[in-house]
Structure 1
Amino acid sequence: MEFRFATAGLLALSLTACATMPGETARTAAPSAETFEAAPVSQLVDAVSIPFETFELDNGLKVIVHTDRKAPVVGVTTYYRVGSKHEPRGRTGFAHLFEHIMFTGSENVENFDIPLEAAGSTGTNGSTNPDRTNYVETVPTGAVDLALMMESDRMGHLLGAVNQDKLDKQRGVVKNEKNQGDSQPYGLTRYLISEGLLPIGHPYRHSTIGSMADLDAASVTDVRKWFIDNYGPNNVVLALTGDIDVSTAREKVQRWFGHIPRGPEVVQPRAEPVTLASPVSREHVDQVPLVRLYRLWSGPGLQSPDSAPLTAGLSVFGGLASSRLDKVLVREEQLAVRVSSFYDQDEQLGTAYVTMDVKPGVDRAVAEARLDALIADYVANGPTADELKRAATQIVSGQIDGLEQVGDFGGKGVTLAEGLLYAGDAGFYKRQLSAIAAVTPDSVRGAMQRWLTRPVYKLAITPGPRTEKGADMGGWGDEGTVPPPKPDAKLPAPPLVTGPPRPMPPVGLVKPLVFPAVERAKLSNGITVALARRTAIPKVTMALEFDAGSAADGAAKAGRQAMMMDLLKEATTTRTAQQIAEEEERLGANVNAVTGRDVSAVQMTALTANLAPSLALMADIVRNPAFADEDVVRVRNQRLASIKQAMASPQGIATRALDPIIYGSAHPYGSVGALGSEQVVQAITPAALRSEHANWIRPEGAAITVVGDVTMGDLLPKLEAAFGNWKGDSAYLPMKDLTVAVPAPQPRIVLIDRPSSPSSMLLFGRVLPLTGTTQDTEALDLANEVIGSGFLSRLNMDLRETKGWTYGIGTGLTGVVGPRAAVVQTLVQADRTGDSIKAIFEQMRAFPKAKGVDAVELQRVTEGNIANLPTRYQTNASVLSAMLTNRRFGRPDDYQSRLADIWRGVDAAAINAAAAQYLQPDDMVVIVVGDRKAIEGQLTGLGLPIEYRDPQ
């Protein structure tokens, strides 16, 4: 899938007790969950409900309306029945290119982002895949007319605004998007898979991003014709979800879209699964850390009766934490450090994936033979009924999560629109879930034998210098055998007759955020509890936090804390890793141990019906880890492989280099990060992990934060049963000294060579003279938005939209308790590395000296942010995140409710002052990861000393 800008993906359906050590917290028993019965899958399916109504305009526009009044916002989701599979030879990449162009303005709207963000829109974005192009935004109820007017102008009044300059700029953006993906480890695999599975000319064979030669050849006349042929209202589904009803929607949609004439019908191409004549094997050498093996088959699309059996079956085989592949290849035989299998579905075609990252030092032939044997055995014998029940529970539980959000890529609008577009039924999601719940071992075995006994495509990605160029891949497939298309001659396009001007409607009343009230209590052992009750979905999200994080390691022990946290789920004194995974899946729960900079936490989402047994499982994971020798060895190998993976990525290399430079090795933040260093991880022992756990994972100072469908009266007894008898040792409390001095700034360029990289990673950073607990920094946050945070920021509009040198650039202020840092990061085309650094410096220095915040920017980051507050806190996870941040930085529980008044009190002078004090580039270190031969000459004239470092 290709996106206009970086975003989240679509909603997918598609034990022995140890002696207590000195200073160690005693591992007292946590309750068992074995006496509880999990809710049946059929009951969970019943809980997934998105009521809707539909209507159709005379011009063929299909409209879905779902009413959800929990927040004063409306999701506007528009699906066009045109994707990359509809592109003919010579026009690959046109659907995705037009997705970009359709954001650059129409005949009556100069820029789609500015009015929407000013009105409080969030999630304003678009994406393209083989089957469709979509556009999403979630707006305050008072801005629905504005959003509909703009979508209708995009649909019916676009062509007069499509000109050569916009075409050229968006071509540049798309090229950088392609280079960014190609630069990653395994980044060319997406092309290799379709080339091996599908013949030249198959609609799903060429990539969504297309051929650079085809894009270079596209003229304004070509792209106008593409629009006329494909973007009529009769090829569109519009979903309005949230604070709106069908009668209101019908009037508004008719008013804004009714005048747009029908267009040609988009013709659905034939795009059937392909059976290879015989097995195919391909080797690909790339800049990767590990050998990665693929086993691949094409298969049926979304509406096939085999869709659900293949989805559930491959989840059992390699998708669940308890999967067959994980159990055998990772845990027991330790031939792999990572495995997976899943069924990736498009409308007319699916792909069955089985992947394996071979453990370093393992004979590849042995690993391959074992993988193939496991596949053959599973296809022959299939899963058990219990495995399928656990897979179905996890899939349905994930769909329940999607009910919280009305719009954006993960929301209910997408679910309904895809059903209507692909299956003629907006309620298709319910049929899919019912089918998943109904799969049986026999139905899965039958589907596997129909599709996975056909000739396989075996693909191996092996470490070494990259031997193929992404620039030459992803097109129609006959490049080199036919003359390349001629470049765009940039001839004037014929004039168009445009309609009368259409004024944009005013934004109506925007309702304020109603943030849930926070209740507080304590367990008998002193652990604090905070609860925000929300009843939108029958689930609970929670976090148990400890004052630790990677800062507890510092540079000397980098990686120890995170490895200890990773091992919590590997086994307890009464449960094996396999038992933990199976119990989690059976309950429809998700327990994760995470290591941040300042805190370590165990987080959980659970179905309200299964909360008690889920808490019992979570408590056992937190309190009674086994740290068995064999588990430590296995997880150590996985972490070492992850470090190698990070060091193969330009972003990973730069990120690991920055903090030791700007914070210094003496400061707790001055390490390579939670992943750690090879030397430290290699030396970690079970005894060291037990000590780490005893020192940091303890009830003193721990805090439980909960959001979801539970009352404090129901919650407290369950928490008390799980954690109340956990006793610590208050005589010994470890401390982190975040006041350690950081080095004086030494502005310079640090160049790290990554040969043959088509893009350069740029990471700027400096430590600021303030901490996370410094209050009244809202003006700085808004100044950061103006310069570099968000699509409309000055840096992104300059380097992406004007110059076309990057797919995106962002700035940030690190969210830490101790000294904060200002950072800038982007991937730029290699031949513009020096120019990009210069342009970034120029933009940052100009703000505010040459150009202070203007009226449009000020309105967007104050009133625009105020208007989108209700949209920001639709989900349990977003509310939990806000509560945890408030706790960490000493903010009041009602901080989010106060933000509107705080932002209204921030004027241009305050923003300019914050930019002048904190967001200047002069003290920044600039880390550059790229091909030294191609970029070194560009850096010598920037006036900064250059330091050369090895990636390690």
Structure 2
Amino acid sequence: MRKFSALAAVSLVALATPALAQAPKTSASLQSLVSQVNIPYETFTLPNGLRVIVHTDRKAPVVAVSVWYHIGSKNEPKGKTGFAHLFEHMMFYGSENAPGGFFGRLEDIGATDWNGTTWYDRTNYFETVPTGALDRTLFLESDRMGHLLGAVTQEKLDNQRGVVQNEKRMGENEPGGLVSYAEAAALLPEGHPYRHSTIGSMADLNAASLEDVKTWFRDHYGPNNAVLVLAGDIDLATAKTKVAQYFGGIKRGLETPRPAVTIPTLSAPVEKVMRDRVAQVRLAREWTGPGLTDPENVTLDLGLDILGGLGSSRLYDALVRKENLAVGVSAGQQSHENLSFIEINVRVRPGVDPALVGKRMDEIIADFIKTGPTEDEVRRAATTALASRVKGLEQVGGFGGKAVALAEGAVYANDPGEYKKDLQTIASATAGNVGAVTRKWLSRPVFKLTLEPGERSAEDQALAGSDVAAKEAPAVKAQTPTTPPVAATRKEPPVGEVTALQFPAIERTTLSNGMKVVFARRTTVPVVNVAASFDAGSAADDRAKLGAGTLMTSLMDEGTTTRTAAQIAEEEERLGASLNASTGMDASTVSVSALKANLAPSLDLFADVLRNPAFKPADVERLRGTQLARIAAENTQPQNIAFRTLPPIIYGPNHPYGIPFTGSGTPAGVKATTRDDLVAYHARWIRPDNGTIFVIGDTTLAEIKPLLEAKLGSWRAPTTPKGTKTFSAPAAAGAERILLIDKPQSPQSMIIAGQVTPVKGTSDPLALNTANDVFGGMASSRIITDLRETKGWAYYAGTAIQGVKERMPFFLIAPVQADKTGDSIKAARGDLTGWLGAQGTTPQEATNAIVNSVRSLPGSFETGGALMGALIRMEQYGRPDDYYVKLPARYRALTPAALDQAARAAIDPSKLTWVVVGDAAKVKPQLDTLGIPVEVVPSAAPAAATPAAAPTAAK
């Protein structure tokens, strides 16, 4: 479903009751809910045409600032594809009165949830900032809107051209990375505004001149083509004063012409076969569909959810759960202003004939088109959709907060309240109109795409606008000397006082069975989140049965002794609840996110899944196959290949962390795990004397404890001992070397280096984590500045101190263009050695990292999920309840010397193991020049089952 993450906080009426779990009801309760949902907003427009929307939400001392320009890739003329996205990058690299990178400035003011994105219809920039930093933020946004061109240089253009090309390579380097190009070519005619990709072609990017990009800005980025949303700790009067001060002097721009857009229909069905280094055959059925402002868009979303998007969906229940023909299905729309792309996908179970799966897939779709959904299916889909909207109310900004809902409506429908119409459409949906809309759009000729294992064709690579030989033309160079910077005419305002973190009070109690309960109240939305976390995780796996813990947790919500998997899914949907069972490195967790009105029945479901998993033999075999397919898929994905390979090397085979960090285990381990092993694993690790319950949300401890007691108080630990983990095995002795994993046809190389530090997560490594921010943990850190901003060889790069309880690993990550693999390792090694050596951390770097950490704290716990994660980490690492409250003072006490000391004690460049996933034929000669031992190994990606019969491309 299309996500409206922002709806106002509301007193929820009962969306569902225990009785609803047995029988469908009318839509009255949904209508009542929607009638109370509201994001209060006020608007005004400056004389220059800038539309401003203001939403007041005082729950936290932060303001979301979101600027949407109504310009995207569909506006690009032939020969200039990728310009909108390229200019999004350019606008992050300084303006006339704020020179230098925008990233560092956002980090300096403590921004959270910040980024910029470009799509077919719009370009947006957003950040959530402390209220005291609002003036600085508005100055920065207004300066790049009205005072940018004097700071746009040939050097910046050349650099960002390289960064964007590496972003393009990164997407295309993934298995199936060329599919979207084939889809657009099949569904849309030549010249259609949505046919070319947003990221553009290499040739067009190379051809972009400095004057081209400046003209693009003049033509489209005026205030009259923009919407500014301010949501959070702000009011209308304040907004009017500040927006007029910073944006009022910007001149009105040109009017952007809107291209005529049709929604094409194929004249006849089209079939295509593509090949790529995928683990399983993928089948897709695709059409074009209605745009965002068409009421049929959200109605069709419901139909697609029922068909393949929900846990109870027709395709999932038949192909995955009952017939065991597939390992995954999905259905939904990629929705845009003028049209959508309808996609139904099935991943074929290895060893199964894809032709058979395709036939069943088409039969189920045809039956759904013919007979339509039931009223109960529509109600469950609508309840799930509305519940997800309510749960998204906590964020004011980011990728999907309240600011996004208001901006999207204003840009596409000239109505910030457009989301209300969509919610009304969802609440009033019936089996009749959902069936009719689905029939209308899915009865048209279909594009059938089969993606099977094999070598990429030159034809498919050409569709992507990529040179098959991966050699781009040289970047355009300036023909005249670079002009000097434009003199500043505006003064950047200071950051005001930033309100201290308002961390909620933590309360504790114990159930009659001895299970601890940790509680924090959060009344922003009528939602209660409950999680039971157990001291288990992948580190608890038997070395001969790696992946057993993940297999066990995946089975917990796939059937209990009283409920089938289908019944669990349907009950979850009726209640608007979200159940999840997962395995991390140190812990296994079962959680439920419940609407407050449905808390009691949601806890019934949660407790049953937690206490009574059935582990039925048929379900065990089905989920075993799914997990093996997941491992096979990971072995085709560059980053996952590296994270499966590197940890066992640096920790050694006998250490609990010496396992694939993806958590899925090994094929041998998953195959060796029996049903009895799973039952024993649950009895040993998932038990009340080995876990803690965490509760965050709109309730009180006095209210929630009796409910938890009723559901879990009688749960007793088995008489057998609980599990223990032993970390006495020493980590492997590190020695610098390169392991090159051959992945032919890779336009990029994934570089991941690592070593085990002597520092434990339980030791609270604040100085080490802050030092890591300096080198590779922030957008303005040394390594990304070098590899992305200076050299343009990577779209991103960074380092991380992985958070685990025992000895933590240090990772360096850099996906780089293939022909710069050796140079990138050389540069990264030099950067790291210099930082840990004579160069050290500068006072300015330390200040930047510390200021960012302190100022970003108030915005870091805006959601219940973020707060839940914090409470679980505090318990897991043995931290006091006032840990986060005292953090600012501890940050401020750090010095450059303290950061250097922490880093030098933990990281030794001479002991790094480098894993490079790339095309060995292109990469090895580069690596051989580095003076580091290189070992080449083939990719572990298995050859998937050969299709018995595959469709051929239509002529």
Match of 2:255 in 1: 265
User: What's the CA shift for 1:626?
Assistant: 0.9
Structure 2: distance between partners of 1:652 and 1:126:
26
Task: Select which of 690, 698, 702 maps to 1:709.
Answer: 698
Number of residue equivalences? 922
Task: Select which of 427, 436, 456 maps to 2:417.
Answer: 427
Query: Which residues of 2 match residues 232-271 of structure 1 at below 5 A?
Result: 232-271=222-261
Residue 51 of structure 1 aligns to which amino acid in structure 2? Answer: P
Q: Partner of 1:779: helix, strand, or coil?
A: helix
In the alignment, is the contact (CA less than 8 A) between 2:50 and 2:224 conserved in 1? yes
Structure 2: distance between partners of 1:193 and 1:12:
31
Task: Quickly say closer, same or farther: Cα 1:920–1:501, change in 2 above 3 A.
Answer: farther
Match of 1:119 in 2: 109
User: What's the CA shift for 1:35?
Assistant: 8.2
Tell me whether 1:767 sits opposite 2:744 in the alignment.
no
Task: Select which of 276, 294, 299 maps to 2:289.
Answer: 299
Match of 2:179 in 1: 189
Tell me whether 1:42 sits opposite 2:31 in the alignment.
yes
Match of 2:69 in 1: 80
Q: Partner of 2:874: helix, strand, or coil?
A: helix
Structure 1: distance between partners of 2:159 and 2:4:
27
**Offset from partner CA, 1:505-562 (integer Å, 9 cap, x none):** 0111111001000000000000000000010000011210111100111532210110
Structure 2: distance between partners of 1:703 and 1:46:
38
Match of 2:11 in 1: none
Match of 2:893 in 1: 905
Task: Quickly say closer, same or farther: Cα 1:527–1:494, change in 2 above 3 A.
Answer: closer
Task: Select which of 881, 889, 907 maps to 2:869.
Answer: 881
Structure 2: distance between partners of 1:495 and 1:647:
49
In the alignment, is the contact (CA less than 8 A) between 1:48 and 1:399 conserved in 2? no
User: What's the CA shift for 1:486?
Assistant: 10
Match of 1:895 in 2: 883
Query: Which residues of 2 match residues 406-485 of structure 1 at below 5 A?
Result: 406-468=396-458, 472-474=462-464
Match of 2:802 in 1: 814
User: What's the CA shift for 1:708?
Assistant: 0.7
Match of 1:152 in 2: 142
Structure 1: distance between partners of 2:379 and 2:481:
59
In the alignment, is the contact (CA less than 8 A) between 1:272 and 1:300 conserved in 2? no
Larger displacement relative to structure 2 (237-246 or 697-706): 697-706
Residue 907 of structure 1 aligns to which amino acid in structure 2? Answer: T
User: What's the CA shift for 1:838?
Assistant: 0.8
TM-score in terms of structure 1 length: 0.94
Match of 1:737 in 2: 726
RMSD between superposed Cα atoms in Å: 2.2
User: What's the CA shift for 1:50?
Assistant: 1.2
User: What's the CA shift for 1:398?
Assistant: 1.4
In the alignment, is the contact (CA less than 8 A) between 1:182 and 1:470 conserved in 2? no
In the alignment, is the contact (CA less than 8 A) between 1:206 and 1:474 conserved in 2? no
Structure 2: distance between partners of 1:473 and 1:647:
26
Match of 1:28 in 2: none
Match of 1:605 in 2: 593
Structure 1: distance between partners of 2:601 and 2:6:
26
TM-score in terms of structure 2 length: 0.94
User: What's the CA shift for 1:731?
Assistant: 4.9
Structure 2: distance between partners of 1:643 and 1:486:
39
Structure 1: distance between partners of 2:725 and 2:488:
66
Query: Which residues of 2 match residues 105-254 of structure 1 at below 5 A?
Result: 105-110=94-99, 111-254=101-244
Query: Which residues of 2 match residues 827-866 of structure 1 at below 5 A?
Result: 827-866=815-854
Structure 2: distance between partners of 1:937 and 1:887:
49
Task: Quickly say closer, same or farther: Cα 1:642–1:44, change in 2 above 3 A.
Answer: farther
Residue 795 of structure 2 aligns to which amino acid in structure 1? Answer: Y
Tell me whether 1:390 sits opposite 2:380 in the alignment.
yes
Structure 2: distance between partners of 1:876 and 1:487:
47
Residue 74 of structure 1 aligns to which amino acid in structure 2? Answer: V
User: What's the CA shift for 1:762?
Assistant: 0.8
In the alignment, is the contact (CA less than 8 A) between 2:109 and 2:495 conserved in 1? yes
Residue 882 of structure 2 aligns to which amino acid in structure 1? Answer: D
Larger displacement relative to structure 2 (917-926 or 333-342): 917-926
**Offset from partner CA, 1:423-467 (integer Å, 9 cap, x none):** 111111111111111111111121122211111111111111122
Match of 2:740 in 1: 751
In the alignment, is the contact (CA less than 8 A) between 2:381 and 2:573 conserved in 1? yes
In the alignment, is the contact (CA less than 8 A) between 1:33 and 1:617 conserved in 2? no
Match of 1:56 in 2: 45
Structure 2: distance between partners of 1:295 and 1:898:
54
Residue 38 of structure 2 aligns to which amino acid in structure 1? Answer: S
In the alignment, is the contact (CA less than 8 A) between 1:69 and 1:242 conserved in 2? yes
Match of 1:25 in 2: none
User: What's the CA shift for 1:166?
Assistant: 0.2
Q: Partner of 1:556: helix, strand, or coil?
A: helix
Match of 2:939 in 1: 951
**Offset from partner CA, 1:238-274 (integer Å, 9 cap, x none):** 0001000000000110111111111111111111210
Structure 2: distance between partners of 1:452 and 1:269:
26
Tell me whether 1:682 sits opposite 2:677 in the alignment.
no
Structure 2: distance between partners of 1:929 and 1:498:
44
Residue 320 of structure 2 aligns to which amino acid in structure 1? Answer: V
Structure 2: distance between partners of 1:916 and 1:403:
43
Structure 2: distance between partners of 1:557 and 1:35:
40
In the alignment, is the contact (CA less than 8 A) between 1:546 and 1:703 conserved in 2? yes
Match of 1:939 in 2: 927
Residue 92 of structure 1 aligns to which amino acid in structure 2? Answer: T
In the alignment, is the contact (CA less than 8 A) between 1:382 and 1:442 conserved in 2? yes
Q: Any runs of at least 4 consecutive aligned residues in structure 1 with deviations exceeding 4 A, and if so which?
A: 8-13, 31-39, 484-487, 493-500
Structure 2: distance between partners of 1:205 and 1:945:
46
Match of 2:565 in 1: 577
Structure 2: distance between partners of 1:585 and 1:739:
45
Structure 2: distance between partners of 1:729 and 1:500:
72
Residue 936 of structure 1 aligns to which amino acid in structure 2? Answer: K
Tell me whether 1:568 sits opposite 2:556 in the alignment.
yes
In the alignment, is the contact (CA less than 8 A) between 2:380 and 2:573 conserved in 1? yes
Q: Partner of 1:439: helix, strand, or coil?
A: coil
Larger displacement relative to structure 2 (259-268 or 129-138): 259-268
Task: Quickly say closer, same or farther: Cα 1:797–1:469, change in 2 above 3 A.
Answer: farther
User: What's the CA shift for 1:941?
Assistant: 2.1
Structure 1: distance between partners of 2:646 and 2:717:
37
Q: Partner of 2:254: helix, strand, or coil?
A: coil
Q: Partner of 1:597: helix, strand, or coil?
A: coil
Structure 2: distance between partners of 1:870 and 1:180:
33
In the alignment, is the contact (CA less than 8 A) between 1:33 and 1:614 conserved in 2? no
**Offset from partner CA, 1:174-207 (integer Å, 9 cap, x none):** 0110111101111111111111100111001100
User: What's the CA shift for 1:492?
Assistant: 3.2
**Offset from partner CA, 1:123-179 (integer Å, 9 cap, x none):** 231000000000001111111111111111100100011111000000000011011
Residue 415 of structure 2 aligns to which amino acid in structure 1? Answer: D
Larger displacement relative to structure 2 (875-884 or 665-674): 665-674
Match of 2:527 in 1: 539
Residue 197 of structure 2 aligns to which amino acid in structure 1? Answer: S
Larger displacement relative to structure 2 (357-366 or 484-493): 484-493
Residue 898 of structure 1 aligns to which amino acid in structure 2? Answer: K
